[in-house]
């Protein structure tokens, strides 16, 4: 498919100054959403993440088991949405969270750079699904986007969409590398057209991770894609999101641009690790370090 031609169905991106003004207004509005109820929802939307070179079967197993036991210790709260790990640990997580509603997310496709052979990306995705992943997070080929090879970048997503079968596919745009509203919007629209169920801000592995400005551009692209196609794509913020106030900001951006119907873990996620404890502390009114 010639994906680049589909971009003609959509208006051009807003200017950087326009995006900044919208983001600043939403930052002010978010102060009114710094409440326990919002924090509870945000906790339930977290993909609880460990993506470290130090991960091992033992450490990931303990990480997942701790999350699986959360509702025993906090029966009044909804648990996080999923556990996000590298592909070799999908089976480990599956054993730890068996018989719980928790989902398993695996990064795939040569995460975090996406710089490997397409065949390797395909095999890694297929193996993660075979081992039990419910959701897969892949990185768009940023180099191809930056060089204008839009059809090639989208075609890679289409191929991984096929390998992912019925699993939820989240496409990471690495917005800190794309930088401009125009490129972030272009990558958003290409990813959605190629089969993404979610578009995600960042890997958290480069200097610039999630920003309110990138989230504004992405959510407006999701809104416009829905207006044209009738298909709802989810939004995932990830990378450097640590405080309860940060979570409330992304909640506000989604609520104001996409509406209340997007405020469900089926359409809104936050990828994080430290955030879970910080939200729990804000909810409970005291410092809590429950999650490993």
Residues annotated as catalytic (active site), given as ranges? 137, 200, 236
Q: Which of 222, 282, 287, 227 is nearest to 258 (CA)?
A: 222
Q: Which of 114, 56, 63, 67 is nearest to 89 (CA)?
A: 56
Separation between Cα atoms, residue 102 and residue 136, nearest integer Å: 14
Q: Which two tokens stand for residue 171?
A: 């496409």
| Residue 67 parent element (H or E) | helix 57-68
Separation between Cα atoms, residue 70 and residue 144, nearest integer Å: 42
Cis peptide before 227 (omega within 30 of 0): no
Is residue 242 within 8 Å of residue 212, measured between CB atoms?
Answer: no
Separation between Cα atoms, residue 57 and residue 50, nearest integer Å: 12
Q: Where are the beta strands (DSSP E) in 81-192?
A: 82-85, 103-108, 135-139, 168-172
| Residue 269 parent element (H or E) | strand 268-272
């Amino acid at each position: 498919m010639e994906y680049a031609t589909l971009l003609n169905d959509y208006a051009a991106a807003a200017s950087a100054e326009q995006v900044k003004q919208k983001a600043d207004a939403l930052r002010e509005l978010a102060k009114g959403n710094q409440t326990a109820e919002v924090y509870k929802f945000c906790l339930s939307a977290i993909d609880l993440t460990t993506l470290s070179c130090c991960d091992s079967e033992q450490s990931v197993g303990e990480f997942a088991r701790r999350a699986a036991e959360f509702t025993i210790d906090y029966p009044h709260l909804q648990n996080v949405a999923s556990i996000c790990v590298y592909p070799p640990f999908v089976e480990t997580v599956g054993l730890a969270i068996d018989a719980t509603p928790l989902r398993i997310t695996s990064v795939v496709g040569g995460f975090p750079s996406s710089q490997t052979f397409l065949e390797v990306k395909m095999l890694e995705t297929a193996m993660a699904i075979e081992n039990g992943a419910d959701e897969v997070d892949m990185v768009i080929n940023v180099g191809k986007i930056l060089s204008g090879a839009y059809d090639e970048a989208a075609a890679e997503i289409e191929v991984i969409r096929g390998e992912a079968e019925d699993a939820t596919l989240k496409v990471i745009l690495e917005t800190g590398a794309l930088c401009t509203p125009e490129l972030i919007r272009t990558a958003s629209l290409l990813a959605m057209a190629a089969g993404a169920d979610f578009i995600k801000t960042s890997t958290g592995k480069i200097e610039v991770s999630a920003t309110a400005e990138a989230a504004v551009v992405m959510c407006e692209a999701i809104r416009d894609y829905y207006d044209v196609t009738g298909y709802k794509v989810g939004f995932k913020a990830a990378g450097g999101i640590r405080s309860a106030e940060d979570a409330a900001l992304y909640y506000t951006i989604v609520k104001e641009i996409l509406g209340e119907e997007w405020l469900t873990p089926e359409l809104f996620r936050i990828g994080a690790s430290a955030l879970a404890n910080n939200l729990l502390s804000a909810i409970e009114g005291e410092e809590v370090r429950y999650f490993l």
